[in-house]
Amino acid sequence: MKTRLLIEQHFHGAFGINFNNCTVEDILDVAKELTKYGIGGIFPTLATDTVENIKKQINIIKKAAELQTPDTAKIFGVHLEGIFLNPEKKGIHDDSLFLKPTIENYGLLEDDFIKIITYAPEFDENYALAKYLLTKDVKIQAGHCTGGDLSYCDGATHLFNAMSGIVQRGTSTALTALTDDSVYTEIIADGVHVSDSILRLVFKAKPIDKIILVSDCLPITKSNLKEMEFEGETIYFDGEKATSKEGTLAGSTKLLPDIIRRLGLMGLFSPQLIENTYKYHNIKLDGEIEWDDNFNIIKVKPFGA
């Protein structure tokens, strides 16, 4: 089987590198290493932090994008996951740094390299920030939230994780994301963040062209680290999942090709799942991946061609 290169739109780092505190050289090293895994493009994702550090890291990511070479994964922009979230669904994020999602607060860190923002729509009064972001060509995703009105959202961030779940009466974030066919839904299909039964439900209920595979992977991914500092907490990796001391699940520890292999062996993978991210962001990127029957990567072109 041949597919296009993979695009990772929710990606906190890997190989021991954390996008919230890394250097330009670190990002370029990650972008180079990712080509071995068929990943042709990334949206480095910033977790909750101080406004000052978020601005600093956006500039570092922008500089890395300016210096990247054709033999590295392309940096398409920043995914701002943190700071405008709901403390009730904070997950591993530091809620002491959360801000209300207003145009004024967004202006504190606004940058044209922010291409995706995850936020809690229930805190966006009259959806003023969402309406503003629509004029800036920023993808708006509901995540770490409880709101069920996704009228101004392009997508939902890691479906079922850190959001209000399916309810039999009323509405919720997950229910709207699953049933509104205009909303794209990220899903972390790593076997840890959602059960296989939920995965099968998503693939039955959601149009295949509206599902976006993400890893939400942590810097601990593909490294020798067994623990790391993330969002002011020590995160422990037991070989399968990464959690805080209290057991709060953090991001994934698998890259996209590992997730695709898992889906393939479950009979749930379709090449359309790779195409969806291209369509969502209107991305143009040359290259392809050749896979064997067990969904292992045989060859990546143009990398290693």
pLDDT digit string, tens, across residues 25-63: 999 999 999 999 999 999 999 999 999 999 999 999 999
User: Can you give the pLDDT at residue 58?
Assistant: 98
User: Can you give the pLDDT at residue 64?
Assistant: 98
Is 301 among the domain residues? no
Is 298 among the domain residues? no
CATH number at 248 reads 3.20.20.140
CA nearest 106: which of 75, 131, 129?
A: 129
Mean pLDDT over 75-92 rounds to 97
Place 110 in a pLDDT band, splitting at 50, 70 and 90. Answer: very high
User: Can you give the pLDDT at residue 213?
Assistant: 98
Is 302 among the domain residues? no
Is 151 among the domain residues? yes
Domain residues for the domain of 97 are: 7-267
User: Can you give the pLDDT at residue 303?
Assistant: 64
Is 118 among the domain residues? yes
Residues whose CB falls within 8 Å of the CB of residue 123, separated by 6 or more in sequence, listed in order: 84, 86, 100, 101, 145, 147
Residues whose CB falls within 8 Å of the CB of residue 28, separated by 6 or more in sequence, listed in order: 64, 67, 68, 72
Between CA 11 and CA 212 the distance in angstroms is: 13
Is 295 among the domain residues? no
Q: Enter the pTM of the model.
A: 0.97
Is 124 among the domain residues? yes
The DSSP 8-state label assigned to residue 50 in this structure reads -
Between CA 36 and CA 25 the distance in angstroms is: 18
pLDDT higher than 70, residue 212: yes
Q: How many domains does the chain have?
A: 1
pLDDT higher than 80, residue 304: no
Q: Which amino acid is at 126?
A: N
Between CA 179 and CA 279 the distance in angstroms is: 20
DSSP-derived pairing of the beta strands 2-4 and 288-291: antiparallel
Is 290 among the domain residues? no
Place 302 in a pLDDT band, splitting at 50, 70 and 90. Answer: confident
Q: Which amino acid is at 96?
A: S
C-alpha distances in Å from residue 126, one per residue of 64, 129, 203: 36, 8, 33
